[in-house]
Each structure stands twice: as C-alpha cells, then as structure tokens.
Amino acid sequence: MKNLSEGKESRLIFQFAMPMLLGNVFQQLYNIVDSIIIGNYLGKEALAAVGASFPIMFILISLVIGFAIGSTIIIAQYFGAKDINNVKRTIDTLFIVLFFASIILSVIGISFSEDIFKLVGLPEDVLPQAKTYLNIYLSGLIFFFGFNGISAVLRGLGDSKTPLYFLIFSTIMNILLDLLFVIVFKWGIAGVSIATIISQGTVFIIAIIYLNKTHKIIKLSFLNLKYDKEIFYKSLKIGLPSGFQQTFVGLGMLALIWIVNMFGTNTIAAYTVAMRINLLATMPAMNFAAALSTFVGHNLGANKPERVYAGLKATLLMTSIISITVTAIAILFAKELMGLFTSDKDVIEIGVSYLIIVSSFYLIFSTMFIVNGVLRGAGDTLIPMFITLFALWIIRIPLSYFLSQKIGVTGIWWSIPIGWFVGMTCSFLYFLSGKWKTKTVVKYTEHNSVNIDN
C-alpha cells in the first residue's frame, strides 16, 4: 500500500502506473498471442468470431466494471483520509455485488448471444464459432469479476504491483493452455475460451489465499462479508455514470461491428486484428489515466488539491512522449504487425489502412483519457459520461456510417480520431471550469486518522 498524497508527483504517478501498464501489456500480449494462434491455426472465420464477441462481452460487464471503478475511487479517497473502517466496508460491499452480478449476467448473455449476433448481421460462416466462444467465456464470468475486483481494491489502496504479479501468472498460464487446447487437443475455438476460464479461476483463488494470509486490510471470507447500503449507493452514484458510459461505448462497438459487417469477413478479421494492436498501443494512456485517478483520489481525500494540477501536467508530458513513439512504430511497421496474425493479403491490406489512419492520432486519445482521469479521481463521472456519449453516438457512429457509404471502409477508420478530438476538446473545457473539484466523497479531517502501518 502506498499513500500518493506525499512525495514528488511525477515519480509517484510513474511508479504507480508502470506495474498497471506492464500488467495490461501482458494481458494485451496474451490477446495478441491468442489472435495469432487463432488466425494461424483456426482461420480468419475464427478470428472474426472472437472480434465479433468482444463488444457483447464489453456491454455485459460494463455496468459492473463501472461500479468497481466507483468503489476504487471511494477506497482511494477513504484511504487518503486514513478512514480504514470505511475502506473495509467498501471492499465487502464490492465483492457481494460482484458475486450476484456475475451470475445474473452469465445467464442473460448465454441466453441471448445468438440473437444478438444475428441482430448485428454477423455472417453465417462466423456465427457458430462466435456463439461457442462467447457462451463458454461467459460461463466463467464469476472468475473474471472476482479477479478484477481484487485488482480494483488493491489499486484503490495504492498497490499496483501485486495485481501485476497475478496478471503475469494468469497470462502465461492462458497462453500455455491455448497452445495445449488448440494445437495439441484440437478443441478449436472452444479451447480458447476454456483456457481463459481456467487461468482466470486459478489466479483468482491464488489471489484470495495470498491476500488473506499477507495483507493488512484485505481479508476476504465470503461467508463473513457485510453489505453496506450507504457505501453501495455511494459507489453506485460515482460508478454508474462510468458504467453507463462503458455500456454505451460497448453498444457503440456493436454498432461499428454492424457497419464493418457490411464489408464482409475479410474486413471483420482485419478489424479484429487491428483492434488488438490498437488496444496495446493505447494501453499506456489508459493506465496512466487510471494511476492519475487514484493519485487525485488520495490527494483530494487528504485535502491537497494543488497536487492534482502538478500531477496532471506530469502525466500529460509522460503520455505525450509515449504516444508519439507508439505512433511512429505503428505507422512504420503496420504491414509487419498485421502479418503476424494472418497471411491473407486482403486482410493485411485492410488492417494496414486502419493502423496508419488511427495511430496518427494517439496523442489526441491520450490527452482525452488523462484529463478524464482527473475528473474520475475527483468522483465526477457524470459529465465525462455525457461527453463520451456525445463524441461516440452523435459524432463517431453517424460519421462512420456516412463516410463508409461515401469512401468505403476507410471512412469507418477516419471517424475514430474525429470522435477522439471532439471528446478531448469537451473534456478539457469542462476541466477548466473547475466544477469537478466539488464532487469528492470525503474530506480530510484529523479524527479520521488511524495508524495504517501496523
């Protein structure tokens, strides 16, 4: 655990962000290796099936992940105020909600997966594998939520290293099981989902055992968890806007898949691969934004708002350097990157056009995410939600359809950075208003102080 309200801002944010970044790089590298195995051993139809499944999974988990984000912000602010009793109450409530949500969403997702795929016009040669992949994955949702809940709690407490170790273990295990189930056992697309469930379930159980034996605050005994109505509503108030935001982002992805589906299996496969690369490329901005949110939560909880501005400037500088570097790599090696996943020349050509257009604007994406990181850390999640919905549903999706009809598939790609630019501009203008500073959950007071080192 580390309190981020004391020490040099840039160093604290960098040190907190790097383990999260490394963890997510490992996660995305798994996704990339996963796609390489699928593309080379199961074909472009299987690759397209995985890509088509992602938006549906994203939609189903978004509200719950939003609630977890709200809990992380509350934990960070209570921890900054040294109010450990409320930290523990928040942790208990989070895991109770995650447990019941995982069961409900698994049932809903499995029941309606085929109908959703048909609704978005998924090609018949892709649909059976997409349904198999998604249904098996959703059956293990309880492990996904459980592990992500542990990671969210640890980040709120200022610990980004421990989730990294667990994630590295899970990633390596997942890759090995992928190779075993797909190449050796010949289980096809089902083997990919089964490998994911086993690896997530294993790391979740190991994490519980390890933390119960070693951690000062986290003691997870599911029979002794205590639900707190007040904490639940606070988490809901902060997290629901983020959850709705992510849900509508997922629906936006589904709408984009519908538009992409119009151009056939080659385009779906190319979009799937390019999105994998894009997720890896944009990961630094996402993780530095998450680190900044925790930093902001700790400092506002400790009544040190002046450190928030210094943290924002430092984070923008670091992510700008990273974004420019990543852009250069993506553009210079676009063909080679696509070639890792498939030898199909048409798929490669379509994917290269995506990477060249979209990666040219990573600096805009990172700026948007970092500014939103400050707003979320303060507990102000409602306005970022509206900004995201406006940039996505009023700008990007209509523009994607319009341009795709005028100039073809590249029109879909151009709509992405245009949406980013609108979102960045709106977020920055709202940040300048200063209204986000009034949204904190707790204020630092001396009577909340307890010794957290013993």
Q: What is the pLDDT of residue 109?
A: 94
Side-chain-side CA neighbours of 187 within 13 Å: the count stands at: 17
Find all residues with CB under 8 Å of 302, minimum gap 6, and list them: 3, 5, 80, 81, 444
Q: What is the pLDDT of residue 442?
A: 59
Query: Could you tell me if 258 and 120 are in contact, meaning their C-beta atoms sit under 8 angstroms apart?
Result: yes
Token pair, residue 245, equals: 């935001």
Within a domain: residue 345? yes
Q: What is the pLDDT of residue 448?
A: 42
Distance CA(11)–CA(4), nearest Å, equals 10
* Per-position pLDDT tens, the chain of length 454: 666 778 899 999 999 899 888 877 777 777 778 888 888 899 888 888 888 888 888 888 888 888 888 898 888 888 888 888 898 899 999 999 999 999 999 999 999 999 999 988 888 888 999 999 999 999 999 999 999 899 889 888 888 888 888 988 998 899 999 999 999 999 999 999 999 999 999 999 999 998 888 888 888 887 788 999 999 988 888 888 778 878 888 888 888 889 998 998 899 889 988 988 898 889 899 999 989 998 998 888 788 888 999 999 999 999 999 999 999 999 999 999 999 888 889 999 999 999 999 999 999 999 999 999 999 888 888 888 899 889 999 999 999 999 999 999 999 999 999 999 999 999 999 999 988 887 776 554 444 444 444 3
Within a domain: residue 188? yes
- Domain containing residue 273: 9-447
Within a domain: residue 336? yes
- What is the number of domains present in the chain? 1
Side-chain-side CA neighbours of 388 within 13 Å: the count stands at: 25
Find all residues with CB under 8 Å of 205, minimum gap 6, and list them: none
Q: What is the pLDDT of residue 358?
A: 96
pTM of the model: 0.72
Within a domain: residue 1? no
Query: Could you tell me if 147 and 166 are in contact, meaning their C-beta atoms sit under 8 angstroms apart?
Result: yes
**Residue for token pair 């996904």:** 144
Within a domain: residue 429? yes
Q: What is the pLDDT of residue 237?
A: 85
| Burial (CB count <10 Å: 0-12, 13-18, 19+), residue 147 | buried
Within a domain: residue 280? yes
Find all residues with CB under 8 Å of 286, minimum gap 6, and list them: 24, 369
Q: What is the pLDDT of residue 443?
A: 52
Within a domain: residue 259? yes
Find all residues with CB under 8 Å of 313, minimum gap 6, and list them: none
Distance CA(108)–CA(119), nearest Å, equals 16
Within a domain: residue 342? yes
